[in-house]
Amino acid sequence: MESESRARQADFIRAEIDADLAAGRFGGVVHTRFPPEPNGYLHLGHAKSIFLNFGVASEYGGLCNLRFDDTNPAKEETAYVKAIREDVAWLGGNWGDREYFASNYFEELYAYAEELIRLGKAYVDDLTADEIREYRGTLTAPGRESPWRDRPVEENLDLFRRMRNGEFPEGSRVLRAKIDMASPNLVMRDPTLYRIRHAEHHRTGQSWHIYPMYDYAHCLSDSLEGITHSLCTLEFVNNRELYDWVLDTLRVYHPRQIEFARLNLTYTVLSKRKLIQLVREGYVNGWDDPRMPTLSGLRRRGVPPAALHEFIKRIGVARADSTVEYEMLEYCIREKLNASAPRGMAVLEPVRVIIENYPEDLTEEFEMPWHPEDATFGSRKVPFSRELFIERDDFRLVPPKKFHRLSPGVEVRLRYAYLVTCTEAVYDCDGRLLELRCVYDPASKGGQSPDGRKVRGTLHWVSAKHAIRAQARLYDKLFSSPDPDRAPEGETFLANINPDSLRIVDAFIEPALADIPSGATVQFERVGYFCKDTDSIPEMPVFNRTVTLRDSWAKMEKRSRD
Ligand code: ATP
Ligand code: MG
């Protein structure tokens, strides 16, 4: 089983790990980590990293840690920590008792920094941030050494301790690694290791006045946790040299960093900064708005974790950046929901149907399977009576070619119930369809054709008297452009927001659908997949559209119009 899944998931990362194991590196152990910064909610891109890190660990019989990379007190919050835990667990990430925080290591990281100073490999620099930038040079010009670069060790130690004690204002000094101001790799031109911040940290409070930089804290955290393979995204390729330098200079245990391509998706932004902006400026209703590419948004929309797993498996892990089609994600969602979602009937844009030859006060109940292909779902009873609702769109006074639904004189099947023929369409004086009058064939009970006569259309319906009113939130893509970041001159990605990303309609649902638990996803037959939302109240269930069904008719219609 294990080797099987390993074979299926052959990619360059697994190949590198195989090679390490074959060469006897890391004592045959695989230990990864997922290292989110708690400065926002996790999104689809993180799902890729989660499945990769936890997946690799489990395939090789190893472990994966959850590590909060909380080295920037200004942007981090405990609420994000909680949300991140929930999201990782939702995707099946199991970190056991190995939940760590970079801030747990602040004392060790500090001690390592003093050691670097003693080794003559770090110094306190009094240049301002602007000066440091200016001294750094460019890709074509070497940098210049800071006048403070050759401070004696004792002076560096003294200043660094006083930085820690909070004696200096923010921005007045930093601790820098002493590497090479002429390195062709800009990252190696005496990178900053510590900066002064008199901020409140969500876990360590006011106890620190200096905070380690990501590049310094990350490699040492990996080392302290005994990580074997530190998997990160491509933008850290140039940082690997520094990762290795810190660990080699300190002569500590040395994990291996391997970079892979970030996930990019059409019609989607996956930058935390932009997602925060969408939330703060009210373009969406919070982090878990079903239009958000956040894991909590996808969950609320009704996307099953298995669909995300399938999606990430399909796109694979590569070394080169690329952009994945949004439709591929939708495809994976439909695939999984087709198997896992029970079916039910709901009408979103109703028109009343009166069956003139059906008894006034009769109610029949039809037993319908919850799933057409899987009997283990069981069945439910659906009431039928003289007045029904069907979709307004399922009727045309003058049917276009290949329209196999209801129109005057045409017979259709009401799913699992009866065959009915439309006798009259009633309009109001504004030309709006008011109701449809039909007759039914009592011999067609269950929706069977009694004499083999051909009936092409099958419609879903709800009994008007028994229907429960519900709210349907019809979500569409949040951005109308495949590349939201490409905005007109002078504008931002916000200019590409889809003004029709949410349409709310009143729906009528069959009674059994009102009782499903919130968070459950069902297929409204012929309409789409819908997830019962936590906003539901008994008087008004709320359903979020997870994804539409492929509507071949709509496509055909569009083609004939174009
Ligand atoms: P952002 O750029 O949106 O702020 P980030 O990389 O800063 O994201 P982190 O919290 O640091 O966010 O990410 C945690 C882990 O998830 C990192 O290992 C990071 O490389 C990975 N990750 C983040 N975004 C993506 C993505 N789009 N595709 C794949 N992995 C990602
Ligand atoms: Mg990051």
pLDDT per residue as tens digits for the range 278-322: 999 999 999 999 999 999 999 999 999 999 999 999 999 999 888
Instruction: Tell me the C-alpha distance between 11 and 518, whole Å.
Output: 38
Residue 45 CB–ligand 1 contact under 6 Å: yes
Mind listing the pLDDT tens digit for each residue in 223-239?
A: 999 999 999 999 999 99
Q: What is the mean pLDDT of residues 414-428?
A: 97
In 3D space, the residue among 375, 388, 392, 396 whose CA is nearest the CA of residue 418 turns out to be: 388
Instruction: Examine the residue annotation and report whether 37 is marked as an active-site residue of this protein.
Output: yes
pLDDT at 561: 58
Q: Which of 25, 144, 195, 262 is catalytic?
A: 262
Distance 36 CA to ligand 1 centre (A): 7
The amino acid occupying position 511 is: P
Given a cut of 90, whether residue 551 has pLDDT beyond it is: no
Residue 32 CB–ligand 1 contact under 6 Å: no
Q: Which of 37, 115, 241, 349 is catalytic?
A: 37
Residue 236 CB contacts under 8 Å (≥ 6 apart), including other chains:
243, 257, 259
Residue 36 CB–ligand 1 contact under 6 Å: yes
pLDDT at 554: 52
Q: Collapsing DSSP states into helix, strand and coil, what is residue 523?
A: strand
| The ligand 1 atom nearest the CA atom of 235 | 20
Q: What is the mean pLDDT of residues 421-438?
A: 96
Residue 324 CB–ligand 1 contact under 6 Å: no
Both tokens of residue 72? 């920037």
Instruction: Tell me the C-alpha distance between 549 and 330, whole Å.
Output: 10
Q: Which of 272, 386, 405, 413 is catalytic?
A: 272
Residue 373 CB contacts under 8 Å (≥ 6 apart), including other chains:
none
Report the nearest-CA residue for atom 26 of ligand 1: 45
